[in-house]
């Protein structure tokens, strides 16, 4: 943990320095501007953020067992609490006690005090604390029999200039996304407290001022950072979006191209009737994709202005990450970054959260569906350049497998639904987290050890062709089934120097060959490999998805009692010893055993070591300890 905390000003001390005296907010802003002038780029931190375990909770974080659980499990990062639009829409209402935020109190001040105290207590466990920040999704009614409700009541009646500064506009309706007729975009998907849902426009500079005030407020509560969600831009046709889209097209195309490709004869006077975002790939057109690309670049620009440049001007080293959605690689109709240029993908972010939704929270073993996020994990790792990441799998049953597949692939388990109120789940989470912590040298800043690489067809997606994505999924599944050690890299990042270390480069749809490293493991086992940041070793990670499934097909189960893993082992492993090394020994680790087991290996003249895999339940690591020399040297 010391390696991680050195990168940041301890938030408990920083909270006392900043204080809760928001009368000093003007001083903080001034100091922030001075710092911003010093760290004007404010983009990437000097040392990358590092953590290997985390928890995240939207509910039950006020439970009496929450803090004792954190003290037991000691996650390096705790993602908890709400500081964006959920807070300002609902914390002052009786409806805030329900979905999504489950606030423990009623009242902005009451919840503010409670969250600040929670953050202080979490820091006593040496955990970094990151707050959830809804960037634009507003709940409320501008007018009702009770007057304004939700967000609109806050903005009109409860806005406190001492912590937040002046309101940027008088009328909150001036902050909202707009339809073609000028009316606010609204819906009733959740109907929290019978209130409607609105969307603030991220291209509106006044809304960005509101967001900055909220960032300043959250930092004042002792947070180490924010994870920001709801990066959706709808078909907003407000003046700000019209102007921003004009500028975008003007930078991308000349007059002849605009006329020939999109029928725009005079960009300066053109009034757009559609500036959309996600859409059905089957109905995609070049102009729809330009709208989607613009939307994703605009939300990225808002993220950088508000959280990276402004947030880090107030708190150097502020942790920032996005909560996005990937599912089963849905593109054009999903994935908040699907059309971002490669140079902007996850730029300036410290860690990544990607939700797999309902695509990976059950097994269908007879049809070889392991309910896994392995391909998603390797894609995120490769696309981001080894930044910390997690998967939100909505998995409350297969707790061991959810933790294991992230640990095995360089991620930080586990993304969501750490059911600490269930004693059996709490025991397993603590057991697996302590295993990772005991063997920190295996996980901390490790790097993938792969023989092959599979290219994700991002160039095709950007051209509007999503058919290769299905071919990618099939090729990836075949590589996993044959236990090939492989990475994933988007093809627009696949420069020659990035591919030099791989013996085989796979395109989507290619036939799969057996790897140099061979495992006779059953198809319900996934295998990956890593090299530690320090020391000479090769680590093989094994995740076993075999289990007794619920009687109802494709059921996600009702809790850890339905995980029911089935032991596996006894299969043969043939592993080439890395060049320039000889084998010192082999050890076997698993969370279910406190101490490692020595494994007997047979080193052949071919430079390979052969051994039999000991039995394990869900997750195991085999360490090949190395030293310089020839494999067959005495």
> Tens digit of pLDDT for each residue in 88-132?
999 999 999 999 999 999 999 999 999 999 999 999 999 999 999
Instruction: Say what the pLDDT of residue 295 is.
Output: 98
First to last CA, the chain: 39
Tell whether the model's pLDDT for residue 452 goes beyond 80: yes
Determine what percent of the chain is predicted with pLDDT higher than 70.
92
- Residue 44's pLDDT band, with cuts at 50, 70 and 90, is low
Residue by residue, DSSP assigns 278-309 as S--GGG--HHHHHHHHHHHHHHHHHHIIIIII
Task: Please state the pTM of the whole predicted model.
Answer: 0.92
* Mean pLDDT (whole number) for 254-270: 97
- Residue 424's pLDDT band, with cuts at 50, 70 and 90, is very high
Instruction: Say what the pLDDT of residue 117 is.
Output: 98
* Mean pLDDT (whole number) for 394-416: 93
Report the 10 Å Cβ neighbour count for 145.
Answer: 6
Determine what percent of the chain is predicted with pLDDT higher than 90.
89
Instruction: Say what the pLDDT of residue 357 is.
Output: 84
pLDDT per position as a tens digit, 465-475: 999 999 999 99
pLDDT per position as a tens digit, 596-632: 999 999 999 999 999 999 999 999 999 999 999 876 6
Sequence ranges of the domains in the chain: 452-515
How far apart are the C-alpha atoms of 317 and 43, rounded to whole Å? Answer: 10
Pick from 382, 355, 360: nearest CA to 450: 382
Instruction: Say what the pLDDT of residue 418 is.
Output: 83
Tell whether the model's pLDDT for residue 514 goes beyond 50: yes
* Mean pLDDT (whole number) for 263-292: 97
Report helix, strand or coil for 46.
coil
Tell whether the model's pLDDT for residue 320 goes beyond 90: yes
Query: For the chain, what is the radius of gyration of the CA atoms?
Result: 26
Instruction: Say what the pLDDT of residue 394 is.
Output: 85
Q: Each residue of 398-419: b (16+ CB within 10 Å) or e?
A: bbbbbbbbbbbbbbbbbbbbbb
pLDDT per position as a tens digit, 457-496: 999 999 999 999 999 999 999 999 999 999 999 999 999 9
Tell whether the model's pLDDT for residue 634 goes beyond 70: no
- Residue 529's pLDDT band, with cuts at 50, 70 and 90, is very high
Higher pLDDT, 224 or 44: 224
Tell whether the model's pLDDT for residue 417 goes beyond 80: no
| Range from 149-153, 416-420, 555-559, 589-593 carrying the lowest mean pLDDT | 416-420
Is the distance from CB of 15 to CB of 119 less than 8 angstroms? yes
Tell whether the model's pLDDT for residue 42 goes beyond 80: no
Tell whether the model's pLDDT for residue 216 goes beyond 70: yes
Instruction: Say what the pLDDT of residue 35 is.
Output: 39
| Range from 12-16, 53-57, 130-134, 166-170 carrying the lowest mean pLDDT | 12-16
């Amino acid at each position: 943990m010391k390696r991680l905390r050195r990168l940041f000003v301890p938030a408990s001390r920083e909270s006392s320095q900043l204080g809760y005296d928001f009368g000093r907010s003007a001083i903080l802003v001034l100091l922030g501007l001075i710092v911003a002038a010093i760290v004007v780029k404010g983009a990437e931190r000097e040392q990358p953020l590092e953590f290997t375990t985390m928890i995240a909770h939207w509910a039950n974080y006020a439970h009496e067992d929450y803090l004792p659980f954190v003290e037991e499990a000691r996650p390096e990062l705790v993602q908890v609490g709400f500081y964006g639009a959920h807070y300002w829409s609902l914390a002052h209402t009786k409806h805030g006690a329900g979905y999504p935020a489950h606030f423990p109190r009623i009242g902005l001040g009451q919840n503010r005090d409670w969250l600040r105290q929670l953050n202080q207590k979490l820091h006593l466990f040496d955990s970094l604390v990151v707050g959830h920040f809804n960037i634009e999704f507003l709940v409320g009614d501008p007018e009702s029999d009770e007057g304004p409700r939700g967000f609109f009541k806050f903005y009109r009646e409860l806005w406190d200039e001492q912590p937040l500064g002046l309101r940027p506009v008088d009328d909150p309706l001036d902050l909202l996304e707009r339809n073609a007729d000028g009316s606010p975009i609204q819906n009733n998907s959740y109907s929290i407290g019978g209130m409607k849902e609105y969307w603030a426009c991220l291209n509106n500079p006044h809304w960005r001022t509101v967001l900055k005030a909220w960032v300043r407020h959250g930092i004042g509560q002792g947070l180490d950072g924010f994870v920001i969600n709801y990066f959706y831009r709808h078909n907003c046709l407000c003046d700000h979006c019209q102007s921003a889209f004009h500028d975008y097209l003007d930078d991308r195309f000349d007059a002849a191209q605009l006329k020939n490709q999109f029928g725009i004869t005079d960009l300066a006077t053109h009034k757009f009737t559609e500036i959309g975002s996600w859409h059905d790939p089957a109905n995609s057109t070049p102009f729809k994709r330009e709208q989607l690309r613009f939307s994703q670049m605009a939300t990225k620009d808002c993220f950088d202005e508000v959280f990276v440049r402004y947030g880090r001007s107030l708190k150097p080293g502020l942790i920032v990450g996005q909560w996005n959605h990937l599912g089963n690689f849905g593109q054009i109709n999903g994935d908040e970054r699907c059309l971002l240029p490669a140079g902007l993908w996850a730029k300036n972010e410290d860690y990544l959260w990607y939700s797999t939704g309902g695509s990976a929270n059950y097994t269908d073993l007879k049809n070889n569906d392991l309910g896994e996020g392995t391909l998603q994990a390797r894609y995120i790792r490769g696309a981001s350049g080894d930044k910390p990441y997690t998967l939100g799998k909505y998995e409350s049953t297969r707790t061991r497998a959810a933790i294991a597949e992230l640990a095995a692939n360089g991620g930080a388990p586990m993304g969501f639904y750490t059911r600490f109120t269930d004693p059996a789940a709490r025991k397993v989470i603590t057991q697996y987290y302590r295993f990772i912590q005991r063997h920190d040298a295996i996980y901390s800043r490790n790097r993938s050890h792969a023989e092959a690489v599979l290219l994700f067809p991002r160039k095709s997606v950007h051209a509007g062709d999503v058919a290769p994505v299905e071919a990618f999924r099939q090729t990836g599944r075949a590589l996993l089934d044959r236990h090939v050690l492989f990475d994933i890299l988007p093809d627009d990042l696949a420069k020659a120097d990035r591919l030099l270390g791989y013996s085989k480069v796979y395109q989507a749809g290619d036939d799969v060959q057996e790897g140099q490293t061979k495992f006779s493991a059953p198809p319900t086992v996934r295998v990956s490999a890593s090299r530690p940041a320090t020391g000479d070793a090769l680590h093989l990670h094994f995740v076993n998805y075999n289990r007794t499934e619920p009687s109802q097909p494709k059921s996600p189960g009702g809790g850890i009692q339905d995980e029911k893993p089935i032991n596996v082992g006894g299969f043969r492993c043939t592993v080439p010893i890395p060049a320039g090394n000889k084998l010192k020994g082999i050890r076997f680790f698993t969370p279910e055993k406190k101490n490692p087991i020595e494994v007997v290996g047979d080193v052949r003249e071919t430079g390979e070591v052969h051994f039999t895999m000991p039995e394990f339940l869900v997750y195991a690591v085999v360490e090949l300890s190395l030293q310089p020399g020839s494999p067959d040297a005495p």
